[in-house]
Amino acid sequence: MTATQDVDRAAPAGPSFEDRVRRVADAAHRMRHHVLNMGEVQGQGYVGQALGVADVLAVAYQDQLRLRPADPHWDERDRFLLSIGHYAIALYAALAEAGVIPVEELETYGSDESRLPMSGMASYTPGMEISGGSLGHGLGVGVGMALGLRHRGVASRVVNLLSDGELDEGSTWEAAMGAAHHRLGNLTAVVDMNALQADGPTAGVLAIEPVERKWEAFGWHTVRVDGNDVPALLRAFDSLAEADADTPRVVICDTRIGSGVPLLETREKAHFMRIDEHEWQIARDQLDQGAQR
């Protein structure tokens, strides 16, 4: 396990690009294992999204965010807001790899008395900045936090991970307008475009493309990237530094449900996966085989 340090990893004197890629990819691999192990406790869950977003979260927690793992309330930390409460399993894996919660604690996922409930709740889990569940509110909270931090002269970044389903929510676009109006260069949105929602493919629920042009029209510095390509993700996040200082930034990440586990990549009804008892080990084996290629 590696602990995210209180340093700027993208600084020129830092590790080489290849080292950063390896660090992130190794952590993402371990995070996928954590997700499978947690999912197995319940026999089902939001496993497909968590495997899909693992690379994005690994880039955030291993490379980009300024955090002090032993001090989750450090005032100068970057705030990572998970507005999709059902993605909590993914964030727990990231928090464990970042050293914010012990890896062993992941075994308690979803059980009574655990600090790791199935839906993310700020009062339960160190490093969980907001409670999720009611979709479409993370970005609005992020706008408020970014305004507050700027007002107090704190140089932290606010990062909101939201889903493509949340792009159906009017509140997301109100927040997007507010961020541009208030010139919140300290706010970054990361959209997990996994092309899926609870009711089926995103394109069938509500047509949201062209997503980049929408964010641009709302005044955001916009980047779109393959969210399962670690080097491309690192370049995309690094490129945010080129944005005007007072422009909010968005990284639109196209991710693949079940990424890394072919058995689960092709699953129907992938929003909430039921996985048979014998399939968990197959999934782990496929993950390891993919990592060796």
Ligand X SMILES: Cc1ncc(C[n+]2csc(CCOP(=O)(O)OP(=O)(O)O)c2C)c(N)n1
Which residues contact Mg ion (rule: CB under 5 A)? Answer: 163-165, 194, 196
Residue 256 sits in the site that holds ligand X (CB under 6 A): no
Stretch that binds ligand X, among 93-101, 102-110, 129-137, 284-292 (CB under 6 A): 129-137
Q: How far is the CB of 255 from Mg ion (least distance, A)?
A: 9
Q: How far is the CB of 270 from ligand X (least distance, A)?
A: 7
Q: Which of 135, 145, 240, 250 binds ligand X (CB under 6 A)?
A: 135
Q: Which of 62, 172, 197, 255 binds ligand X (CB under 6 A)?
A: 197
Stretch that binds ligand X, among 25-33, 56-64, 65-73, 193-201 (CB under 6 A): 193-201
Residue 136 sits in the site that holds ligand X (CB under 6 A): yes
Q: How far is the CB of 105 from ligand X (least distance, A)?
A: 24
Query: Interface residues for ligand X in 64-83 (CB under 6 A)?
Result: none
Residue 194 sits in the site that holds ligand X (CB under 6 A): yes
The rounded distance, in Å, linking the Cα atoms of 44 and 63 is: 30
Using CB atoms within 10 Å of the CB of residue 258, give its burial: 0 to 12 exposed, 13 to 18 middle, 19+ buried. buried
Q: How far is the CB of 269 from ligand X (least distance, A)?
A: 10
**Of 194 and 222, which CB lies nearer to ligand X in the complex structure?**
194
Residue 49 sits in the site that holds ligand X (CB under 6 A): yes
**Of 84 and 106, which CB lies nearer to ligand X in the complex structure?**
84
- Asked if 135 and 54 count as a contact pair (C-beta separation under 8 A), the reply is no
Q: How far is the CB of 52 from ligand X (least distance, A)?
A: 8
**Of 96 and 196, which CB lies nearer to Mg ion in the complex structure?**
196
Total interface residues for ligand X by CB under 6 A: 15
Amino acid occupying residue 14: G
Q: Identify the CA nearest to 59 among candidates 19, 27, 102, 81.
A: 27
In the list Mg ion, ligand X, none, the entry touching 267 (Cβ below 5 to 8 angstroms by class) is none
Residue 34 sits in the site that holds ligand X (CB under 6 A): no
Contacting residues for 287 by C-beta, under 8 A, at least 6 apart: 29, 32, 33, 36, 260, 261
Angle subtended at Cα 131 by Cα 55 and Cα 175, rounded to the nearest 5 degrees: 80
Do β-strands 196-197 and 200-201 pair in parallel, antiparallel, or remain unpaired?
antiparallel
The rounded distance, in Å, linking the Cα atoms of 73 and 62 is: 18
In the list Mg ion, ligand X, none, the entry touching 179 (Cβ below 5 to 8 angstroms by class) is none
Residue 134 sits in the site that holds ligand X (CB under 6 A): yes
Stretch that binds ligand X, among 24-32, 132-140, 207-215, 275-283 (CB under 6 A): 132-140
- How far is Cα of residue 45 from the mean position of the Cα atoms in its chain? 17
The rounded distance, in Å, linking the Cα atoms of 53 and 196 is: 13
Select the residue whose beta carbon is closest to ligand X and give its number: 165
Contacts with ligand X, residue ranges (CB under 6 A): 49, 84, 86, 133-136, 163-165, 194, 196-198, 271
